[in-house]
Amino acid sequence: MPKNTEIERKFLVKSDAFEAQATHHYEIEQGYLCKEAGKTIRVRIRDTRAFLTIKSSKLRAGLAKFEFEHEIALDEAKELMQLCLPNPIIKTRYIIPINDERKWEVDVFHGHKEGLILAEIELGDENEPFERPEWLGDEVTGLPQYYNANM
């Protein structure tokens, strides 16, 4: 897989049973500086750490996306949040390990998306098999309404 490539599958979550399997969770606030078809630039604050991320589907075929992420100072991220588009994403992310290489990330949304719960898994290959936990619902990979940038 090329450097700076992300392959993820996304699903709705049909129950809160995932919480018992989570090893930890943290709070996320993210805003978008740019949202265009096929590319985004976002600022994310995760507890006390902050990141600037550029994503694009224009450089990769299929489910693979280009992703560049760089940690930035928390005070810089808070300042950049003031420049972001309206309606930042606010969510709690739960981490559910699968093995040494894979994990589920389950996002429980708050604010204007209260009630939405999504699970993601990052894969090494588009065809990599994985076990579906009982709390996993319908797959929504590729449906634009479930991209954070479109919320």
Model pLDDT for residues 12-23, shown as the tens digit of each residue: 999 999 999 999
Residue 1 lies in a domain: no
- Of 119, 71, 122, which is closest to residue 91 (Cα–Cα)? 119
Where are the extended beta strands (E) located within the chain? 5-13, 24-36, 39-46, 49-56, 64-72, 89-97, 103-109, 117-122, 136-139
Number of domains observed in the structure of the chain: 1
pLDDT band at 3 (very low <50, low <70, confident <90, very high): low
pLDDT band at 126 (very low <50, low <70, confident <90, very high): confident
Residue 59 lies in a domain: yes
CB 96 within 8 A of CB 103: yes
- Mean of per-residue pLDDT scores for the chain: 91
Check which CATH number belongs to the domain holding 106 and give it: 2.40.320.10
Tell me which DSSP letter residue 133 carries: P
How confident is the model at residue 23, as a pLDDT? 97
- The CA dihedral of 137, 138, 139, 145, to the nearest 10 degrees, is -110
Residue 37 lies in a domain: yes
Query: Among this protein's residues, is 147 annotated catalytic?
Result: no
- pTM metric for this prediction: 0.87
Average pLDDT over residues 7-36: 95
Catalytic residue, chosen from 32, 94, 146, 147, is 32
Tell me which amino acid residue 59 is: L
Average pLDDT over residues 104-127: 94
| Dist. CA 87–CA 111, nearest whole Å | 9
Q: What is the pLDDT of residues 39-51, one digit of tens each?
A: 899 999 999 999 9
Tokens at residue 84, please? 């972001």
Tokens at residue 18, please? 């995932």
3 state DSSP class of 20? helix
How confident is the model at residue 63, as a pLDDT? 67
Residue 2 lies in a domain: no
Q: Which domain holds residue 21?
A: 7-150
Lowest mean pLDDT among 2-11, 43-52, 67-76, 131-140: 2-11
| Dist. CA 14–CA 130, nearest whole Å | 18
